[in-house]
Every structure is written in C-alpha cells, then in structure tokens.
Amino acid sequence: MRNVVNKLINPLISIIVPVFNGEKYLSSCVDSILNQSYENIEVILVDDGSEDRSPSICDEYAMNDKRVTVIHKRNGGVYSARREGTVIAKGEYIGFIDADDWIDREMYQYLIGIATKYNADMISSGIIDEDDTSSHVRVPRFEEGIYEGDILVNKVKEHLIDSSGYYEFCLMPYLCNKVFKTEKIKEYLLLDPSRMDRMNGVFPVWLALLNSDSLYVTHKAFLHYRHVENSMKRTVYWTLKKYVNTNLEYWKKQFVPFGADKQMLNYLKYFLLFREPWAFDKDDELLRLYGGIRKEDRVIIYGAGAAGTILMEYLRYMKCNIIAWIDTNFMAYQKEKSIISPESICDLEFDYVLVGVSRYSSAVQICDHIVRMGIDRNRIRMIDRMFLERFDIELFL
C-alpha cells in the first residue's frame, strides 16, 4: 500500500534528452536535470550518432548516477531520438529537454505537484529565451489554471493556432516546457520518424493535447531556451513543399479522428510561410508571399531571428542583390552575423525592405517605424495577409 501511495504522490517522471554533437552545453543541461529538487526521475540520454565527445560525456553520467540511462544510435534526427527514449521510458509522466538548454531547479517539483493535485494530463509552462546578451520570458496566451470538459474543447482544442494575423500559436507547441502523462502522448512519439522528423514537437504536442481530458496552464517559466545557430532546433530546409506533399495524408489520419484537420492544415501554411517562403514563387518573381521581387532588386532584410535568417539564406542562395541585414537587436548578433542598426537605412540605396518577422503585430510596428524614418511605404514588403486568406494549401500541393 505504501508503494501505491508513493506512486500517486511522488510519481516517476522520465526525462528524455536527444543529443547530437552537444558537447559544448551538454553538461550544463544534464546537471540542471540531475540537480532537480524533485528526485524521482529517470534521465534518458539519447546519443543520436554524435561525432564529438557527447557519447563519452553521456556514458560518464550513466556511470556516476543510477538514474541515468544512455542510448547510442545512428543519426536519425530529433524525433527519432525522442522515439528511442520513449520506447524504454518507465515513468507515469514524461518530459523532454534539448541538450543545449537548461532548467531551473524547481521545475519538475512544481509541474509534478500541479499534475498530482489536479490529475492533469498535460501541464504547460512558460519559456525563457536566452541569447548572449539578454533573456526574455514567453508565456502561453491562455490564462493560468485548469482546463477540462467543454472549457478545454471550446477554449483550447479549437484554438491551437490563431490565423487572424499571421499564424500564431495559442499554446506554445514545444515539448520541453511541459510534462505529460505518458499514456496520453506515447503513441504520438512512436509514429514513423521519416514522416515526423521535421514536425519537431508540434504534432506530438497537439495530438497529445487532443487526446487529453485536462490541461493545466501556468505562466511560471523554468526552461531556459538557448538560441544556438546550427543546433538540432533550428535548421533551414530546402524541400519542405515536397515533404509536406508526401506526408499530408499520413498526418491527416492522425488529426481527422479529433476533427482537427483544418487546424493541422493551418499549421502547414505556417510551416511553409516561415520555413520555405519561396515555395509560393512563380517563374522569375521571387517571394510572391512578400509581394514579389526580382533578383536584380536591391533589398534590405529587416529581422535577424528565425524568419529573417531563412529569408537571408534563400536570397543568398538565389544570388540576389542584398544591400544590408538590419535588426534592432543588432549588437547581440554581431559575433555571428553581419547585422547593422535600422537607423542606417536612411544612408543606403535600395529598392525594398523585406520585413522578416513571424509575428504580424511586430511586422506592422516595424513598417510604421520605417515610414516614420521617411521611407515610402510602397518600398516596404511584409507578408501579404490577403495572399494568405486566398491560399488553399491542398490545391497548392
């Protein structure tokens, strides 16, 4: 009887860490997990074919702490790595951390406390974005508290993604800021890796939520999300349209039973919108999504985050006439990218400014700021919402 009570009050949580060439930050990640105030954990380190010292670092942790298990496998991507960890996970609850991130000591004490108090199937928290110079906290758009029954359906499940501006997530669809009942998410972590590898955590999170009877949302933030170039988290793909076309029916089979296939299609719009904006191009007109440019046009890219970086990579690949790359936070990027201040724009000769940001409200603010600097609004290009409204992704594919 004592063991049954302990399992209810102090349930085991399996924490899976996919690792690929992560020697630089791996120790700070694993140490932050092993130093949790909540001690009933198992840590599964999945070495995804690393070519640096990561495998030996993982093995050393396993030798020194009986709570750590290591899997070594061929490189197959982050979904594949999480899948292998899920197969052997023993916990009633499950969580995930990426090898270049770290967590606050009380994270799982707090989240498991919430899980047991409310018998919640999923607990979602905030995220602390970290770069070399600053930290920024992001929280879910939903209010704090427990969601179940009709409230869960009407307020959350039917609003996974907001398409009123660009496409913005109402509940951040990341695995690493959450705790799940293993039984609610496991089957979605064991799907075909070749069909899921580029979906990262979004589809497993959404499917687990749709399969859940309760969700607890907290605005407390414990996960420190380190923005690292060339990590497992941020990759530029060049064949996403083909990938989406190949796997669309497979994904539909997962979402149709929940009546969520329309939201899934909206996510695929978002996926192409910010990961492969050139998928919409025709003939010699590039970036039709932004109103269209020609290769010879002199362009400035505004935005050095994920959306702006993908724009820059594409325009470089197409050998376009890039005049400058600007961002308000230009000092933070100077070690890795040639970013200059937006105030420089008035000294440059150009045809268009492309606003490469993923949030509609931010894009509007940037456009207004550039206009106040004396730049003609017709020379500023941001994603065209009318284009999005007319766009039928199924006909497109």
Q: Which of 59-68, 162-171, 309-318, 340-349 has the highest mean pLDDT?
A: 59-68
Evaluate whether 46 touches 82 at the Cβ level (below 8 Å): yes
pLDDT tens digit sequence for 93-145: 999 999 999 999 999 999 999 999 999 999 999 999 987 777 889 998 899 99
**Is the pLDDT assigned to residue 53 strictly greater than 80?**
yes
Beta bridge partners of 46: 18, 71
Minimum mean pLDDT among 52-56, 169-173, 370-374: which range? 169-173
* Length of the chain, in residues: 397
Q: Where in the chain is the domain with CATH 3.90.550.10?
A: 2-235
Residue 389 reports pLDDT greater than 80: no
pLDDT in tens, 306-325: 889 889 988 998 899 999 99
Cα of 311 vs its chain's centroid, Å: 18
pLDDT at 231 > cutoff 80:
no
Confidence of residue 336 (pLDDT cuts 50, 70, 90): low
Task: Specify the higher pLDDT residue, 115 or 358.
Answer: 115
Kindly tell me the sign of the dihedral angle through the C-alpha atoms of 269, 274, 279, 283.
positive
In CATH terms, is domain 278-389 a member of 2.40.30.170?
no
Contacts of 122 (CB under 8 A, 6+ apart): 178, 179, 180, 181, 184, 185, 208, 209, 212, 214, 215, 216
Cα–Cα dist 81/21, whole Å:
13
| Residue 6, pLDDT above cutoff 90 | no
Q: Which two tokens stand for residue 166?
A: 């660009």
With a cut of 90, say whether residue 281 has pLDDT above it. no
- Residue ranges matching CATH 3.40.50.720 in the chain: 278-389
Contacts for 226-229: CB closer than 8 Å, 24+ residues apart? 226/25, 226/100, 226/101, 226/102, 226/130, 226/131, 227/129, 227/130, 227/131, 228/25, 228/100, 229/336
Separation of alpha carbons 109 and 127, rounded Å: 17
Q: What band does 334 get if pLDDT is binned at 50, 70 and 90?
A: low
pLDDT at position 52 = 96
Mean pLDDT for the stretch of residues 204-215:
97
pLDDT higher than 50, residue 2: no
Task: Determine the average pLDDT of the residues in 225-252.
Answer: 72
Mean pLDDT of 18-25: 96
Question: What string of DSSP letters covers 329-348?
Answer: THHHHTTTS--B-GGGGGGS
As a whole-number percent, the residues of the chain with pLDDT over 90 amount to 66
Topology of the domain comprising 2-235: Spore Coat Polysaccharide Biosynthesis Protein SpsA; Chain A (3.90.550)
pTM of this structure = 0.84
Give the model's confidence band at 4: pLDDT under 50 very low, under 70 low, under 90 confident, else very high.
very low
Q: Is the dihedral of CA 318, 323, 329, 330 positive or negative?
A: positive
